[in-house]
Chain A
């Protein structure tokens, strides 16, 4: 039994003069939920395609469920995947589309209706795929990925087109699958979602891995941000000067000052402000969110 769901080393894909993925190295432990993040064009989908044997790596190596990614037939029967949006036959119903894939993979048709119900398409399974909304198409894609009762589920932007309820349902579904022991490798641009469900994280930028490891490790290494807000806006510049006197580089946002420092600074700034007659209406310290960390690491905004 392999201990890693996914392991890649120096994995690269080059198209002509364009490097889509460059020497990517990361590991995803078995049974974990791993978020895969990166700006558009960072190589996420290319990496996923290589893991699924759809494109051949230019260099490097990798394993999925302990099998070489150059022999996808050895592991794909245990992998469910939804890549770059749901793609189905428009003239067939959702149910028939799933049956085509069930036939192809040698899976029982009995699972088809169960899965349609699970993703909330129980009453629309007989409708043609072309009549589905984007959210319904996405749900069908997830149902298709679950057909093989996968040990590893690879989802590329599974919440695209879903409303907040749908996003929450997918989040619950991923949690549920993870509790049942399914490893989940999920890419999404909704970083707040990933932060809530991902134990591990792989971050890409311009085809290179910026970070791979525990989500808490990444977020824990970030400097906390303390926010202070004066009661009266006229005191903002005076308060900023006091903060700067302490040697911190502050940032003003929405009438409050953000300072890259821990909660111990709260009492210090409160006292200093009080001494010059400024009343503070907010003093709070927060760890940077995944989104903030992501923007800082990738330089995107």
Chain B
């Protein structure tokens, strides 16, 4: 399987994929961090009845350095989903799957190798986002007079490790959805457009119309994993529900990948 991972990573390191993907992640990270610091206020500025954006005081907490990073779950997830979907479905559209299967006839090894390689890519993606977010947070803290004393405390490092782990887990979760749809639909355009439509539009509408459904939706559960959970959607619940969805999608895709004739 190591050979499959190596081959897949060779494909993924092409400039057209890495430059575009990492540029988008860098730009989004910069945008998120900048917006957080631009909107910093004091607790007394809080509008009545409304939750306020982060304050200078709250950003001085141990999690201030990586606060903006924790908000990026959906966006990094969708980027990973796009990459996973295109990497898996393009094998069908280019007709390259037959070449791969001649060189690696074990379809399960091929699938697992591709998944591991893409997971490595997703982890690097999250790491880039974290580096950009934290670096910019440090730079902007000076302009915004945010005290960074606690940002390097052991609690901060431990908190960041957990946040990073959750983000990687959530991102790979989104990736599994993309990869599964890519294999099932055999078309990058269909897989990506259906996923984006669901996660960015339909799930929001469904959640707004049927609030009870929110607790069961895949996007919400993956977001709960990425962000470490919230009161309404706990981390544990997110893990269980997204685990069920991923098992379902991944299971269908695996069966199809293993059994389907490669006739094109």
Contact = CB atoms under 8 A, between A and B. Distances in A.
- Listed from nearest, the 10 A-B pairs whose CB atoms lie closest are A87-B95, A103-B7, A55-B261, A104-B7, A105-B103, A72-B105, A54-B262, A73-B105, A104-B103, A103-B6
Interface string B94-121: 1110111111111000000000000000
Interface of B: 3-4, 6-7, 10-11, 14, 16-17, 90, 94-96, 98-106, 261-263
Contact of B16 (A54, A91, A99): A91
A99 B105 contact: no
B94 A105 contact: no
A104 B3 contact: yes
A104 B16 contact: no
Contacts of B11: 89, 92, 100
A105 B98 CA distance: 13
A87 B6 CA distance: 20
Nearest to A103: B7
Nearest to B113: A104
A92 to B, nearest CB: 6
A88 interface: yes
23 contacts: A52-B98, A53-B101, A53-B105, A54-B98, A54-B101, A55-B262, A72-B105, A76-B103, A83-B98, A84-B98, A87-B96, A88-B94, A88-B99, A89-B11, A89-B14, A89-B96, A103-B3, A104-B3, A104-B7, A104-B103, A104-B104, A105-B3, A105-B104
Interface string A46-58: 1001001111100
Contacts of B261: 49, 54-56
Interface of A: 46, 49, 52-56, 72-73, 76, 79, 81, 83-85, 87-92, 96, 99-101, 103-106, 144, 147-148
Secondary structure class of chain B's binding surface, majority of residues: helix
Contact of B10 (A53, A56, A91, A99): A99
Contacts of A56: 261
Contacts of B98: 49, 52, 54, 83-84, 87
Contacts of B262: 49, 54-55
B103 A101 contact: yes
Given A54-B261, A55-B262, A104-B7, A91 B102 contact: no
A96 B94 contact: no
Given A104-B100, A105-B103, A144-B99, 11 more contacts: A49-B98, A54-B261, A55-B263, A73-B105, A85-B95, A89-B94, A101-B103, A103-B6, A103-B7, A103-B10, A148-B103
